[in-house]
Chain A
């Protein structure tokens, strides 16, 4: 079903146009990497504050209000260019092991952020100014740091589509 969807998108005239554009891929990938610097840079400081590794003198709510507008702006550009990269070459990404691993890690990152927002953050008033946040918040920070690092690594590895486990090759997705 997923393959059918990717093949369907692959045949869109606008997908073909992006794919055959001389510099479209260059612009998209460059914007994706620059916005990655913004997203990863900002979120690392948010995570490090939660984990108790940095900015301990600034209340958590102030770190959030100061950094999140930049995080959201960077995420909009990063996600937009990322979606366009896949849209322009869906059948290049469909059989790519690292691409799917990256998507899986992004799901974990999003779930971790949602868990923090819906549960741990509700009590932030009680520990907002504490230099070291409660254990649950610190764990959320460490998990986010680790999985964002994984997202960056797997993102870079999508260029190495041949360096994959044998069981992935045996699935024959690229056939």
Chain B
């Protein structure tokens, strides 16, 4: 159903520019990886804290509040730098099972991180009991690790 859309996307002059010129793709990939690192840091310090590890000298809400702008803005950069890469190889992405795996994990990750975890991390330790914060923390780490694995496998196995 989406195949014509991906074909159209791949044929845009914007997509062709990234496909046929030398430097824009590696530059945008480097920006994407820097954003991955910032996103991973902002994600991990809160997830580890939910697991009772890492920066335990800080309260969870204060840590989550401080990490949130880094998390949001690095995700914006991830989307903006990911789009040209996806568009320039649109049909390759469409036929890659790892691309769809990545997108599904991104969707779930966004729900867990920006909805479920936001609620859990807004309250002081103990408010939701000892188990739920840990479940959310480990789920968040697992989902975003899956996104990274899926992303890497698009390039390696598709």
In contact, A40 and B41 (Cβ under 8 angstroms): yes
CB-based contact A36/B37 at 8 Å = yes
Q: Contact between A66 and B66 (Cβ–Cβ < 8 Å)?
A: no
Q: A55: which of B30, B34, B43, B66 is its contact (CB, 8 Å)? A: B66
Is the Cβ of B54 less than 8 Å from the Cβ of A67?
yes
Number of A-B contacts (CB under 8 A): 94
Interface contact A152-B33, CB-CB below 8 Å = yes
A42 CA / B41 CA spacing, docked (Å): 5
Distance between A6 CB and nearest chain B CB, rounded to angstroms: 24
Question: Which listed residue, B26, B44, B152, touches A42 by the CB 8 Å rule?
Answer: B44
Name A33's closest neighbour in chain B (CB-CB).
B152
Does residue A52 face the partner (Cβ distance < 8 Å to B)?
Answer: no
A residues contacting the other copy or chain, number (CB 8 A): 34
Give per-residue flags for A26-62: 1 if the beta carbon is below 8 A from chain B beta carbons, else 0: 1001100110111011101100000000110111001
Which one of A12-20, A100-108, A111-119, A155-163 is at the B interface? A155-163
Judged by DSSP, the binding face of B is helix
Within 8 A of A (CB), among B33-51: 33-34, 36-45, 48
Is A110 located at the chain interface by the 8 A CB criterion? no
Contact partners of B152 in chain A: CB under 8 A:
29-30, 33-34
Smallest beta-carbon distance B67→chain A, Å? 8
Q: Which 9 A-B pairs have the closest CB atoms?
A: A41-B41, A41-B40, A40-B37, A37-B40, A62-B57, A66-B55, A153-B30, A44-B41, A30-B152
Interface residues of A (CB under 8 A from B): 25-26, 29-30, 33-34, 36-38, 40-42, 44-45, 54-55, 57-59, 62-63, 66-67, 70, 148-149, 152-153, 155-157, 159-160, 163
